[in-house]
């Protein structure tokens, strides 16, 4: 899924007044979380070690980290952020549950396909 596809999908599912610029910023926020909590906790390449940084100048065709079927995480995240902005807290709570379930499944799937980083307890005396 690309930035543009995530935004188009959430706009179709939940009409809103949130600017595209803010949606990109919110996608950057969740991408940073995914990068730190999922990607960096598992074996990764040097290219994957660079954290994402999206802004208004970022190509809307930029591909996001999570692939189908886990890319629904981005849509649920944006839906939560829209609900929060609109102060629709009941909808926010429902969307947050959907987001958390999708995020947990994405984390589990990533762990099944990528070896966790092995941390050692070495120290210097």
SS3 readout for 37-75: HHHCCECCCCCCCCCCCCCCCCCCCCECCCCCCCCHHHH
Taking residue 104's Cβ as centre, other Cβ atoms within 10 Å add up to: 11
* 3-state DSSP percent of the chain in helix, strand and coil, to 5: 55, 5, 40
Residue 118: predicted pLDDT: 73
For residue 47, what pLDDT band results from cuts at 50, 70 and 90? confident
Round the average pLDDT of the chain to a whole number and report it. Answer: 91
Per-residue pLDDT at 77: 98
* Stated pTM of the model: 0.89
Whether residue 87 has pLDDT greater than 90: yes
């Amino acid at each position: 899924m690309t930035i543009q596809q995530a935004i188009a999908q959430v706009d179709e599912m939940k009409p809103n007044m949130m600017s595209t610029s803010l949606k990109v910023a919110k996608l950057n926020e969740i991408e940073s979380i995914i990068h730190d909590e999922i990607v960096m906790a598992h074996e990764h390449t040097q290219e994957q070690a660079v954290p994402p940084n999206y802004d208004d100048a970022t190509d809307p065709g930029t591909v996001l980290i999570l692939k189908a079927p886990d890319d629904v995480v981005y849509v649920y995240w944006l839906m939560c952020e829209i609900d929060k902005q609109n102060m629709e807290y009941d909808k926010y709570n429902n969307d947050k549950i959907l987001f958390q379930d999708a995020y947990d499944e994405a984390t589990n799937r990533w762990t099944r396909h990528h070896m966790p980083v092995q941390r050692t307890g070495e120290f210097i005396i």
